[in-house]
Chains A and B, each alone.
Chain A
Amino acid sequence: MIEVEHLHKSFQTRSGGLLRGQRRTVEAVRDVSFRVARGEVVGYLGPNGAGKSTTIKVLTGLLVPTSGRVEVGGLVPWRDRRRYVGRLGAVFGQRTTLWWDLPVRDSLDLLRDVYRVPPDRFRENLKAFTALLDLGPFLGTPARALSLGQRMRADLAAALLHDPDLLFLDEPTVGLDVVARERIRQFVAHVNAEREVTVLLTTHDLTDVERLARRVMIIDHGALLYDGNLPDLQARFGSARELVVDFEAPPADPRVPGLKLVSSEGPRVTYAFTGAAARPIALATAHAPVRDVTVREPDIEATIRRIYEGGLLGTVS
């Protein structure tokens, strides 16, 4: 569906005055390559300014890259714009594509004409989305009067009315409460499964990624750092799992042969381990009388933060 090879994008920036200023070339994206298959959901992660939005802008045809090959569904995004964007849907969490002062229904109606959706298809889709996203209560409300969650639901419907093959979601859950987030994730998962829509998702909320994406790509400083699935990322770069043991009494010596000691505080001792928990638990319970045992899973967010900060990996694996 998406093929990107050796994508480069650099910008000329000028600092200082118009005449005396220094010209500088900033490389926003450096040699990025990846493929996305039809029907995949890919989480695209990276800190602000990493090159995420530049990549998305290239993929949506808004930006022409400096060099590299990009093909989406057999088309080059920035050539023949009209034909290309007719197959896209896009939702940007920060802004709406709806007409601000018009009822949602009127906006959707207008988009039907903009995308030339056949009337039957429009009716079917509207009915389906109204049910899935529970649009009914606010179809008659102007966009400006919607809550953020309602607006996002309406925008999702607006982005999918013309049956796009590819959906770009940029921070779709930003600023929403837990319930609203979950509703949007369920809808995206549904659309992906039922309609085979390929989804490229940028987000800062890792729960979005965990719930939706089998695959993540991490970009920083313009280069792709990781491309693979989430569990692998965890296995390779995550910190170890932790075993927290509450002994009946503070042990004379908290060290257990075969377990790595992390900390010891009175009767509570923490060990680090990798792999299955059965053996470490057996070792600990054999060491001294135990009251309680808990296994603490490593935090994905922390893992990714460590990737950004420490540069755990060179480039794409």
Chain B
Amino acid sequence: MGRQGSRPLPALYLLRLYFRLLGAQIRSQLVYRTAFALDALAAALVTGAEFAAFVLVLPRFGALGGWTLGEVALLYGLAELAFVLMDLGFGGFDAPNLSAHVRSGSFSTFLLRPVPLPVQVFGSDFALRRLTRVVLAAGIVAYGVSRVDVAWSVGDVVLLAGSVLGMVAFFGGLFVVGGTLTFWTVESVEAMNVLTYGGRTLISYPMSIYGEWLRKTFTFLIPAAFLSYFPVLHVLGRPLPDGLPGWAAGLSPLVGPLLLAAAFAFWRVGVRRYHGTGS
């Protein structure tokens, strides 16, 4: 046997390998052209219909809890943009995908390859068809940006970019937790859906509409309000609720990665369990 030690693999190599794995996914998906085109359009239509319904009814009411269409579009678009980017990147950890890999045995195949496990899972379920949703979400954000009464500064842009980054990490963390739970039980999948998809819908609208205790729960217990609601409030020049200071609007890039780091710690526990039971 060779004598080479197990030095950490160079980051550049891992990145290249990740993109090679994504490339394989993309080529595989493009084999079925019609199915791909239909799926891509349908993916956008599902989100599109939901927002369209909101846009169509808003004129009858004038505003949503004091928020104009443009302002809601900014909030809604940012949440959707972050969620779909996350969905693209973390698809391999999504509970249904991961449990399918475990059941089919391809998860053991990952373990038999000399590459860090997360790189392989990240590279395993890249749903290219969701790109249409990215475009749609970006369009909604752009509409929002054009309609709100804000003198845009570099700080605002950085704040919102950080907000998206934080949301990607936050929801990515939820996906990792959900996927890890399937090492124990598959029944937990629907429970995680409340957190992931429910959380996404929750932060798509201004938190002020949910009533005091719900808003406080999602500020201090589950820090979802920091993700996009506070940054957008700040950009719109409105004070944060509950007497929170202005800098709290910039915490999204901290909150998200913290959850993600905790999620990966849990992931390692799950993988250790897999090594104990083999299923």
Contact = CB atoms under 8 A, between A and B. Distances in A.
Interface of A: 11, 18, 54, 57, 60-64, 73-75, 78, 80-83, 85-88, 90, 92, 94-95, 97, 99-102, 106, 110, 113-116, 142, 165
A54 B278 contact: yes
A206 to B, nearest CB: 25
A64 B5 CA distance: 22
Interface string B1-41: 11011100100010011001100100111010000000000
Specify which of B1, B2, B5 lies most central, judged by the most chain A CB atoms within 10 Å of its CB. Answer: B1
Contacts, number: 80
A54 B106 CA distance: 17
Contacts of A82: 6, 9, 114-116
B278 A92 contact: no
A19 to B, nearest CB: 13
Nearest to A95: B105
B24 A99 contact: yes
B211 to A, nearest CB: 35
A266 to B, nearest CB: 56
Interface residues of B, number: 32
A80 B185 CA distance: 27
A165 B275 contact: no
B277 A11 contact: yes
Interface string B180-220: 00000100000000000000000000000000000000000
10 contacts: A18-B185, A73-B1, A83-B6, A85-B113, A88-B112, A90-B112, A97-B112, A101-B29, A110-B21, A116-B13
A63 B28 contact: no
Given A60-B108, A86-B114, A99-B24, 18 more contacts: A18-B185, A57-B278, A61-B111, A61-B112, A62-B278, A63-B276, A63-B278, A75-B1, A80-B6, A82-B9, A83-B6, A83-B114, A85-B112, A87-B1, A95-B106, A101-B28, A113-B17, A116-B13
B277 to A, nearest CB: 6
B54 to A, nearest CB: 38
Contacts of B116: 82
Contacts of B275: 62-64, 78
Contacts of A114: 17, 113-115
Contacts of B13: 116
A102 B23 CA distance: 11
B109 interface: yes
A53 B277 CA distance: 12
Given A102-B27, A106-B24, A60 B276 contact: no
Nearest to B187: A18
Specify which of B5, B24, B112, B185 lies most central, judged by the most chain A CB atoms within 10 Å of its CB. Answer: B112
B20 A115 contact: no
B8 to A, nearest CB: 10
A87 B3 CA distance: 11
Contact of A87 (B2, B27, B185): B2
Nearest to B6: A83
B186 to A, nearest CB: 12
B104 interface: yes
B111 A95 contact: no
A54 B278 CA distance: 9
Contacts of B27: 101-102, 106
Nearest to B23: A110
A99 B20 contact: no
Specify which of B24, B28, B278 lies most central, judged by the most chain A CB atoms within 10 Å of its CB. Answer: B278
B271 to A, nearest CB: 10
A83 B113 contact: no
A115 to B, nearest CB: 6
Nearest to B116: A82
Interface in B109-123: 109, 111-116
B168 to A, nearest CB: 27
A279 to B, nearest CB: 52
A102 B28 contact: yes
Nearest to A88: B112
B105 A142 contact: no
A296 to B, nearest CB: 42
B190 to A, nearest CB: 15
A90 B109 CA distance: 9
A60 B6 CA distance: 17
